Amino acid sequence: MNIARRLPPLIALLLVLIMTGCSTPGNRGQQGGGYYEDDGPGSNPPSHAQLDAIPNAVPRIEPLASGANKPYVVFGKRYVPDTSDTPFRQEGRASWYGRKFNGARTSSGERYNMYAMTAAHPTLPIPSYARVTSEVNGKTIIVRVNDRGPFHSNRIMDLSYTAAYKLGLIGPGSGRVIVERILPSDIRTMVASGKLAPEDSQLTADDAAHPVTPPAQTPDPSPLPMPLPAAPSPIAQTTAQDAVPQADGAYYLQVGAFSQSANATTLAKRINTELRGMGKHATTLQIARLYRVRIGPYDTRESAVSDMSTVNAKTGIRPSLIKP
């Protein structure tokens, strides 16, 4: 029996609001934009270059969050999280949520960071990882599922601001996507093939303790904190050889960003081996507290874009176009 039916109306309403998490506040239309009417981007969001530089979520094998994967009822509908580690693929419409919920607790117990690569889903395990592909433009991202929602029949996933930006959903508010879960077995395969460093595939106790501060910009008057996503591993100390100068006015293809210089160096060496003969080399560069791996330089945007498919095919990594 639904517990809410045995409670006074006000208490029952409060219980429903708590259970629905990110998808209950606000007055969200069934057919309109992809976020709540009183929500949206921050008043001074990061630049496109800063958002482009935020890497995909790094898939990891993590223990499931206690309490976040039990069956639950929202608006009279029962949801049963799927923790079976079986292949999952879903097509439908994705929306996004922003500043109104930034800093609020997610279903995992973590605080929502609208600039991290995260998502909310009604039944995927928490935490888990998913590959999300736009059916409109073919763009693909990887997100970490750490929240529940949306609870509308015409939406299958709520994306963070950055994730929605990378799929081209900020303007229209929502769009058709394909959601595919990245299983623990997939992560082990990625490690075995060298596409994912072993140390980055396991959760560490330090992961949530080292937030990455955003580059300097005009202060945001919003009362909610809006940090860039936490680094995937403990921050390494800066050394002179870690900073590789970048040519002014040139374009680069970024293939990774790490909090440890050793991880960035390892990836750069692998990329240079796989791209031998292409005429371009991967180097590491420290910006703020992340070590970024970039291929280049390219004199023009067109020449950089023309190499993106080659880099993806040879390395298995979809690069981002960067202009320092």
Note whether residue 256 is domain-resident: yes
Give the chain's domain count.
2
Instruction: Kindly state whether residues 235 and 154 are assigned to the same domain.
Output: no
Report the mean per-residue pLDDT for the chain. Answer: 75
CB 149: neighbour CB atoms within 10 A?
23
- What integer pLDDT is reported at residue 210 of this predicted model? 33
Instruction: Kindly state whether residues 10 and 61 are assigned to the same domain.
Output: yes
Note whether residue 215 is domain-resident: no
Given a cut of 70, whether residue 182 has pLDDT beyond it is yes
Amino acid at 127: P
Give the mean model confidence (pLDDT) for residues 221-228.
40
Instruction: Kindly state whether residues 10 and 104 are assigned to the same domain.
Output: yes
3-state SS, residue 153: coil
pLDDT in tens, 251-261: 899 888 777 78
Note whether residue 222 is domain-resident: no
Contact (CB, 8 A) for 95 and 19? no
Q: Dump the DSSP string for 219-274.
A: PP--SS--PPPPPSSPPPPP-GGG-----TT-EEEEEEEESSHHHHHHHHHHHHHH
Instruction: Kindly state whether residues 184 and 280 are assigned to the same domain.
Output: no
- What integer pLDDT is reported at residue 166 of this predicted model? 94
pTM > 0.85: no
Note whether residue 240 is domain-resident: yes
Instruction: Kindly state whether residues 270 and 133 are assigned to the same domain.
Output: no
Q: What is the CATH number of the domain that holds 156?
A: 2.40.40.10
Note whether residue 194 is domain-resident: no
CA distance 154 to 146: 21
Instruction: Kindly state whether residues 11 and 154 are assigned to the same domain.
Output: yes
CA distance 228 to 212: 6
Note whether residue 198 is domain-resident: no
Domain that holds residue 49: 3-189
pLDDT in tens, 272-310: 988 988 888 899 988 767 788 899 999 998 999 899 888
